[in-house]
Chain A
Amino acid sequence: MRLPEIIVERREPLPHYKLIIYYIVTIIIGFLLTSLATIPYGLDPFTALYLMLKGSLGSKYGFSETIVRMSPILLTGLGVAIAFLVRFWNIGAEGQLYVGALLSALIGVYISLPKPLHILVASVAGLVGGALAIYPSIYLKQRYGVDEVVTTLLSNWIYILWISAILHFYWKNPLTHWPESPYIHDSAELPRIPGFGRMHLGFIIGIILIGIYYIMYTRSKYGYELKMIGLNPKAAYLQGMDVDKRIFIAALLSGALAGLAGAYEVMGVSHTIREDLSPGYGYSGILVATLGMSHPIGVFLAAFFVSIIEIGMLSLQRTTGIPYPLAMVFEGSLFAVAALTQLYSSYRIRIVWRD
C-alpha cells in the first residue's frame, strides 16, 4: 500500500512577495474548504462569497457597519500584536476589553465634565482598566513563572463573570431594568462620523495608533528591541537589553489597548456596558495579530479582512439562514493558515507517496 508522507525540509528563505502570494493562496484554500458547509443550504461557495462581500462592502450601510466592527478589532488586534511581538501570549483580550469598558462606563455615568475632557478621561479609564486586567498575569509570569496562556485564558472568565454579577445585582439600568449599566452622559459619547451611520471617532484613533505603532516598529530602537526579545530573549539579555522590563511594558500596553477597545464600544456604540457588549472582539484581536504577524500593516489589513468576514457572515445569516458560527470555523482555520505561512518562509512542505 502506498501511503502519503508529509515532508518538511529547510530551504533558502523565501522572498517577501512570494510569501505573500503563498499566504493569499492558503487563505483562499481555507475559505473554499470552509464554504463547503454552505452546500447543505443550497448555496455554492462563490455565491456565498458574493453575498458576503455584498453584505459587508456592497452598500454604504454595510460598509459603515464593517468599519464599526473593525474599530474595536483594530485596537484589540494591535494590543495583542504588541504582546505577541515579545512572545507574551495574551489570550485575555476579551476580559481586558470588558474591564476597560467597565471603568470607562463608570467615568461616563458618574462624572460630569466638558465634552472633550470627558472623552479623554473615559478613554484613559479604559486604558487603565485593560492594563489592570492584564497586570496579574504579567506579575505571575515574571515573579513565579506561571504560564500566561493559562492565566489570561482563565482571566477572561473571571472578569466576564464578575461584570455579569455587577450588572445583574448591583448596577442595573434603572430605566430598562436590564442587566446593563445606566447610560453614560452625552459628554462622554464619542462623536459619530457624519453620514456614515454608527461609525465613530474610535476608528480614527485606531488608525492613528496603528500609525504610531508603524513608526515604532520600523524606525525606533524600542521596536527593534521588542522584535529581538521576541526572537530570542536569552540572546537579547546577553546583549544588554532590559528584557523583563520591555516585556512588562509591552504586555501592559497590550491589555491597555484591549481596554480602550472596550471603552470605545461603550462610548461610541452602546453608551452602556452590557454582558454581550463584545461578540468576541478580544478573540478576533488574537486572530488579527496572528494573521497580521504583528506587523502594523498586516494588523490593519487583517482587521479589515476579519471585519468583512464577520459582517458578511451576519448578512449571509440574515439572507440565507446559514448559521453565523460558520464564520468562526473559517476564522479558526485562518490561525492554521497563519501558522503555515510562518513556516513557509524557511521550510518547504511537500507530500510524497511512499510504499
Chain B
Amino acid sequence: MKSHENIIEMHGIYKKFPGVVAVDNVDFNLIRGEIHSLLGENGAGKSTLMKILYGYYRPDRGRIFVDGREVRFRSPSDAIKYGIGMVFQHFNLVDSLTVLENIILGDDNLGFIPDYSSARKRVIEIINEYGFKLDPDTGVGYLSVGEKQRVEIIKLLYQNSRVMIFDEPTTVLTPAEKSTLFNFFYNVSNEDRSIIFITHKLEEAMNVSDRITVMKRGKVVATLKPEETDINELARLMVGRIEPYEIRRSSRRGKTILKINGLWVKDDLGRFRVKGASIEVREGEIVGIAGVAGNGQKELIEAIIGIRKVYKGSIYVFGEDITNMDPSNIFNKGVIIIPEDRNYEGLFMDASVYENLISRVYRESSNKLGFMDHDGLRKYALKLIDEYGIQTPDITIPVKALSGGNRQRVVLAREFSYNEDRKKVIIAVYPSRGLDIKATNFVRTLLMREREKGLGILLVSDDLDEVFELSDRILVMNDGVIIREFEGGRVSEEELGLAISGVK
C-alpha cells in the first residue's frame, strides 16, 4: 500500500438531521501517527462527524479518502475493514455476553462456529501487551466503567485499527485512569496508529494533542498546533463571545436543612452501595458531591427522594425524619429533584410543553370534583415560558421537539417555581450534562440564585469544574462513603482530583 501522509481526508462533509444541520461543509484531515483532538461544545457536531467517518451515519454530501483513495462506507463494518475503529461516548457493549464474546462479535474471519480458543489467545496477548487487567471470560455486565472502556479499547486493537476515534473518553474516568489512557494514546501513536480524541475540555486537548481542530455549530473554525495557541484562544474559538457567569460563594449560611446520618442503601442487586454516608446541607449553601459515577451517588439520591429503601440510618429535613417516606410526601416536605436523566425521569417526552409545565401545580388548580382550571394553568405555563426563556413555538407541541437546553429549562421552571414557601432543598443531579455553554451557564446561575434565596442545594456532578466552581463545600464520595470534605474555593483542582482517585 502506498504510504500517504494523510491517512484520512474528509472533504465538504454535510449532514442534516431534522431541524438542524449537524455537520456543515466540513473538511478534516488526519496525519499518520498523530494524536488529533476534536474540540467543541456539546452539539458542535464532533461526534456526528466522527460517526460519519466510522460509517455509522451516512453524510448527505461530501467525500472521504483513506490513504488517498476515496471510500464510501455503508456501515461500520466497511470502516472497520479500512482500519478505522471508534469508542463511543456511551459504551457499546452487550452486558449479557462475556468480554471475549463482545470482542469477537464483529469478527468476520471467525467463521460460523467461532474458534474461541484462537480468539481467546489473541485477546490475552493484547491484554498482556498493553498491561490491561481483565479476564476475557467475565460477563461485561459485571465490569466497572473503567474496565468497560478497556474492553472497548481491546476491541479496536483486536480489529487492528490504524485510526482510533475516542468520543469523550475521559468524562467517566478518575484522574489516574485518565493519565493511563493518555499514556496509551502516546504508545499507540508511536506504533504509527492515529488517534482522534473528541473532547470539550480545553486542558486535555492542549496537553495530549499534536493538532487540535475546533468545531462550532457544525463547522470547523480552526485547526491548530498546541504550541501555537493557548487555552484562552481555544475557548474563544470554541464558544465565541459569551456572557460569563459570575462565580460567587454563599453570602450567608443558616440552619441545617438536610441532615443525613450514617446512611446505608443497597442497589438493585442487593449490594450495599451507600455505606454509612453522613451529609449535612445548610440554608444558603451549595454542597457538591464529587466522585466518579458508580460510587453510590445514584443510590444516595434515590434514597433521599424516597424511591429507594433506606436500609440503615436516617434522613431529616429541618429536623423532621423523612426516612423511607414515599416520594410525594418527601416532595411536600420541600425536597426538590433535578433528575439525572431529564428525558426519562424528569419529562413526559411525548406530552406537550404545557402538560410538562403543570405536572406539579395541577393538583392545586383542581376543584373538589377533580376538574382542572385549564385557563389559569395556561397562563401559569406562559408565565414560566417567559420567565425562564423557554424557546418554543407553542405550548401544545411535544416537549421532545425542544432542544436539550430548553428541555432542562422546562424541568427547572417547573421545579423552581412550584410553591416558593415550601421549597427548602434542591437535589441537582448532573444538572448541566449534555448542555451547551450558554444553557450550562443559565443552569448554574439559577442554582446560585436559589442559594441566595436561602435554599440548600445538594449538587451531584461528575463534572469537576462544575462542583469546583459552584460549591461552598465539596464532599468526595468513594465506595459509598464520604472520604474527604473541602471548603469551596480553598482547594485546588489537583488536590480534589487526587482525593477522588482515592489518594489521601
Contact = CB atoms under 8 A, between A and B. Distances in A.
Answer whether A and B touch in the complex at a CB cut-off of 8 Å: yes
Given A220-B366, A240-B328, A346-B400, A235 B345 contact: yes
Given A9-B18, A219-B374, A221-B372, A240 B327 contact: yes
Interface centre among B355, B359, B369 (most CB of A within 10 A): B359
B344 A10 contact: no
Contact of A232 (B331, B348, B370): B348
A interface, size bucket: 20 to 34
A228 B398 contact: no
A87 to B, nearest CB: 12
A241 B358 CA distance: 13
B321 interface: no
B276 interface: no
Interface of A: 9-13, 219-222, 224, 227-228, 231-232, 234-242, 346, 348
Given A234-B345, A240-B327, A219 B372 contact: yes
Contacts of B19: 12
B397 A13 contact: yes
Given A219-B374, A220-B372, A11 B346 contact: no
Given A228-B355, A231-B349, A346-B398, A222 B370 contact: yes
Nearest to A232: B348
Which one of A219, A236, A239, A348 has the greatest number of beta carbons of chain B within 10 Å?
Answer: A239
A4 B467 CA distance: 51
A238 B327 contact: yes
Contacts of A241: 328
A120 to B, nearest CB: 23
Contact of A224 (B350, B355, B401): B355
B231 interface: no
A235 B348 contact: yes
Interface in B364-406: 366, 369-372, 374, 397-398, 400-401
Contact of B345 (A219, A228, A238, A346): A238
B81 interface: no
In the A-B complex, list the 8 residue pairs whose CB atoms are closest, starting with the nearest: A240-B328, A221-B366, A220-B370, A231-B348, A239-B359, A10-B18, A232-B348, A221-B370
B351 interface: yes
B473 to A, nearest CB: 26
A348 B327 CA distance: 39
Given A11-B18, A232-B347, A238-B327, A219 B355 contact: no
Contacts of B351: 227-228, 231
A35 to B, nearest CB: 34
A12 B327 CA distance: 35
A227 B374 CA distance: 16
Nearest to B346: A235
B359 A10 contact: no
- Identify which of B18, B332, B397 gathers the most chain A CB atoms within 10 Å of its CB: B18
Given A220-B366, A221-B363, A228-B359, A235 B372 contact: no
A10 B370 contact: no
B254 to A, nearest CB: 27
Given A220-B366, A221-B370, A237 B17 contact: no
